[in-house]
A and B are shown apart, each in its own frame.
Chain A
Amino acid sequence: MTQSFLDSINAGLNQAMANNQQVVLIGEDLLDPYGGAFKASRGLSTAYPSQVITTPISEAGITGIAGGMALRGLRPVVEIMFGDFLSLAMDQILNHLAKFHYMYNGQVSVPVVIRTPMGGRRGYGPTHSQTLEKHFLGIPGLRVIAPFQWKGESQIGLPGQLLSDIIQTTTQPVLFIENKLQYLLPLLDDNNLIDQDCQDISSSYQLEIPFYRIKMRGAPDPTVTIAAYGYMSPLAIQAQKELAFEHEIFSELLVPTQLAPFELAPIMQSVKSTRHLLTVEEGAGSLGWGAEVLAQVASNLGGNFISAARLTGAEHPIPASRQLEEASLPSVKDIVSAVQKMV
């Protein structure tokens, strides 16, 4: 059976809980048979009844409680049912969890992982479809991770393995961004990624967290760099193929899995040779991730200008109507035409 992104996340939670009894899941509707709104915790309350706490609808409260648990030696994993509800936990993340280590002068560690699914195209409307992680990027003390659906070397796949490793080893709070549509996608490997080569280039840059580079197999040197993460990365993989097969434009797709702290080097390296950069993000774009990528690239280039553009979600709430929603979010077609305009 093909492993999905969601299977991988579920297996990652399972692995972390089996390996370490200090790992405690805390969140809403987590118990079997329901197993969480998106089923990431299915089976876990049955397998590890003492390590799963289902809670009232109290996002701020449970995030703060997880902070207190972590200060006293546990490794809590918070599930926020929809990424949209993360705003309710903002004060606990910003003014509590992310600050403790620094403001208590390094005397404490706060190993909390907060998982949450972002993203639209499910017709859930303005408060259940957003991609809000940009508001959590750049908070000192908070690491933000958005995994890519690469199978990698691990039996359980990269998203789950990354989650499991982080849960078991982190010393600081981590926001682990998932995506509702990404959940359903099969993990990719060299067998099902037919025309492209995907490589984890993190070790070339001394990065702890994977950073992927995807190129057309056997193609000429790329002339454009596309940077995308989360659910935008599979769309960009599609677009990369279309650009190559239908327009003979060859691109290098870069997929970071750590959004904050921000890692520029792999993008810089690619842009130096392609001279063109497109960033793709699902959230509303202004003052966001793409803006930061472009700003950092620009400030590192000196006077050597490149052609750059951002493709982002629309600057309004996500509408419920299928047609309006689709028009609000970046699509494969949008990526293709954005690249065409640049080169």
Chain B
Amino acid sequence: MTDQVLTLYSKMILIRRFEEKVLSAFKEGVFHGTTHTSIGQEADAVGVISQLGQEDIIVSNHRCHGHFLAYGGSPRALFAELMGKPTGVCGGRGGSQHLHWRNFYSNGIQGGIMPMAAGMALAEKTKNAQAITAVFIGDGTLGQGVVYETLNMASLWSLPLLVVLENNHIAQTTPSEITVSGKIADRFKAFGIPTEEINSSDVMAISGLVGRLIADVRYYQRPQALIIDTVRFGPHSKGDDTRSQEDLQALMKTRDPLSIQASRIPQNVREGVDREVETLIEKSYQEALNDPDYDSLRGAVGEMK
């Protein structure tokens, strides 16, 4: 077992436990609003983001907690953001879908993040920086036209943009078979963008492939698409899953990124990591819970602008 095996595992279990905590705490009424969790898709977030460098940029979507945590974002700040507190990632203004920290940005409009990401890639290229931009979209995003405007320009202008499409085969509650025509890969290839596909929940396989793709994007300063066939185990939002739970259970047996990676780690080591992560999540949650909220600060901070 290498250090990398354990590092990737611990990032993935951090995301899993975080998301589980989010879903259970929502039921207790701790959070205000809504959320989109990424249980089952942890290998995408960790596999891709573990291969990015410090100067690289990440643009994510409504389902962004996993990407944020994989990037190194603080679970406490993210809990606080979901709680709408001043200590949150964006002071509680953004909430679950609208995060910015260092070179990480997310927004809640599906296709709209594509031109934003391309613009960042263009800016970095203009500056002669070696930074690349990775943008995460889903199969559902493919319905919006601005995606194709962006692919066209990214290809024409040879932008260092890695488009990661997490195909979880479902957009909210609608299966992609009735929303996506043709082959997804063909949509990228039509613009002359090199496209790789991987049908896997194995973080080692994903990170290995992504490492190579990122090196190409950086070296050749051109776009690249990566389609990761994945499984969303949880609901779109909180309790809105209309799929057969039996089918999902069956998929969890073969497609759980945590089990796949856990099988490479000695049990005692893995259990140690699990305990550490669980402690961290609980501690982060409690700290966020204890952070002052806006009501308690009213008067102390003056006009909240």
Is B211 an interface residue when CB atoms closer than 8 A count as contact?
no
How far is the CB of A48 from the nearest CB of chain B, in Å? 13
Nearest residue, chain B, Cβ from A74: B123
Stretch of B29-37, B112-120, B178-186, B264-272 contacting A (4+ beta carbons < 8 Å): B112-120
In the assembled complex, the Cα of A102 lies from the Cα of B123 at a distance in Å of 22
- Among A24, A64, A74, find the residue whose CB has the most chain B CB atoms closer than 10 A: A64
- CB-defined contacts of A60 to chain B, threshold 8 Å: 115, 145-146, 149
Q: In the complex, are the beta carbons of A61 and B149 less than 8 A apart?
A: yes
| Chain B: number of interface residues, binned into ranges | 20 to 34
Q: In the complex, are the beta carbons of B112 and A91 less than 8 A apart?
A: yes
- CB-defined contacts of A95 to chain B, threshold 8 Å: 107, 109, 112
Is A104 an interface residue when CB atoms closer than 8 A count as contact?
yes
Is B193 an interface residue when CB atoms closer than 8 A count as contact?
no
Is A105 an interface residue when CB atoms closer than 8 A count as contact?
yes
Q: In the complex, are the beta carbons of A72 and B123 less than 8 A apart?
A: yes
Q: In the complex, are the beta carbons of B100 and A64 less than 8 A apart?
A: no
Binary flags per residue of B137-160, CB closer than 8 Å to A gives 1, else 0: 000000001100110110011000
In the assembled complex, the Cα of A60 lies from the Cα of B149 at a distance in Å of 8
In the assembled complex, the Cα of A102 lies from the Cα of B98 at a distance in Å of 11
Is A308 an interface residue when CB atoms closer than 8 A count as contact?
no
- CB-defined contacts of B52 to chain A, threshold 8 Å: none
Chain B 91-140 residues near chain A, CB threshold 8 A: 91, 93-94, 98, 100, 105, 107, 109, 112, 114-124, 126-127
How far is the CB of A39 from the nearest CB of chain B, in Å? 24
Is A92 an interface residue when CB atoms closer than 8 A count as contact?
yes
Q: In the complex, are the beta carbons of B116 and A68 less than 8 A apart?
A: yes
Binary flags per residue of A56-70, CB closer than 8 Å to B gives 1, else 0: 101011111111111
Chain A 11-67 residues near chain B, CB threshold 8 A: 24, 53, 55-56, 58, 60-67
- CB-defined contacts of A73 to chain B, threshold 8 Å: 123, 127
Q: Which of A72, A91, A104 is B100 in contact with, Cβ under 8 Å?
A: A104
Binary flags per residue of A299-317, CB closer than 8 Å to B gives 1, else 0: 0000000000000000000
Q: Which of B93, B123, B150 is A61 in contact with, Cβ under 8 Å?
A: B150
Q: In the complex, are the beta carbons of B109 and A96 less than 8 A apart?
A: yes
Q: Which of A53, A62, A104, A108 is B115 in contact with, Cβ under 8 Å?
A: A62
Nearest residue, chain A, Cβ from B90: A105
How far is the CB of A101 from the nearest CB of chain B, in Å? 10
Q: Which of B107, B112, B124 is A72 in contact with, Cβ under 8 Å?
A: B124
Q: Which of A53, A56, A64 is B116 in contact with, Cβ under 8 Å?
A: A64
Nearest residue, chain B, Cβ from A106: B91
Q: Which of A56, A67, A74, A104 is B152 in contact with, Cβ under 8 Å?
A: A56
Q: In the complex, are the beta carbons of B91 and A105 less than 8 A apart?
A: yes
- CB-defined contacts of B93 to chain A, threshold 8 Å: 102-105
Is A191 an interface residue when CB atoms closer than 8 A count as contact?
no
- CB-defined contacts of A66 to chain B, threshold 8 Å: 119
How far is the CB of A58 from the nearest CB of chain B, in Å? 4
Q: Which of B98, B105, B112, B123 is A92 in contact with, Cβ under 8 Å?
A: B112
Q: Which of A72, A91, A104 is B119 in contact with, Cβ under 8 Å?
A: A72
- CB-defined contacts of A206 to chain B, threshold 8 Å: none
Is A185 an interface residue when CB atoms closer than 8 A count as contact?
no
Binary flags per residue of A88-114, CB closer than 8 Å to B gives 1, else 0: 000110011001101111011000000
Q: Which of B94, B119, B146, B149 is A71 in contact with, Cβ under 8 Å?
A: B119
Given A58-B152, A58-B153; A64-B90 close (CB under 8 Å): no
- Among B98, B107, B153, find the residue whose CB has the most chain A CB atoms closer than 10 A: B153
In the assembled complex, the Cα of A274 lies from the Cα of B105 at a distance in Å of 52
Q: In the complex, are the beta carbons of B90 and A107 less than 8 A apart?
A: yes
- CB-defined contacts of A71 to chain B, threshold 8 Å: 105, 116, 119-120, 123
Q: In the complex, are the beta carbons of A61 and B115 less than 8 A apart?
A: yes
Nearest residue, chain A, Cβ from B131: A72
Q: List 14 A-B contacts (CB under 8 A).
A: A55-B153, A56-B149, A58-B146, A61-B152, A64-B116, A65-B122, A65-B150, A68-B119, A68-B122, A69-B122, A91-B109, A92-B115, A96-B107, A104-B105
10 additional A-B pairs beyond A60-B145, A68-B119, beta carbons within 8 Å, are: A58-B146, A61-B146, A61-B149, A62-B115, A65-B122, A67-B116, A68-B118, A69-B119, A95-B112, A102-B93
Contacts from B to A (Cβ < 8 Å): 57, 89-91, 93-94, 98, 100, 105, 107, 109, 112, 114-124, 126-127, 145-146, 149-150, 152-153, 156-157
Top 9 A-B residue pairs of the complex, sorted by shortest distance between their CB atoms? A68-B119, A64-B115, A61-B149, A72-B123, A65-B119, A58-B149, A104-B100, A105-B91, A105-B90
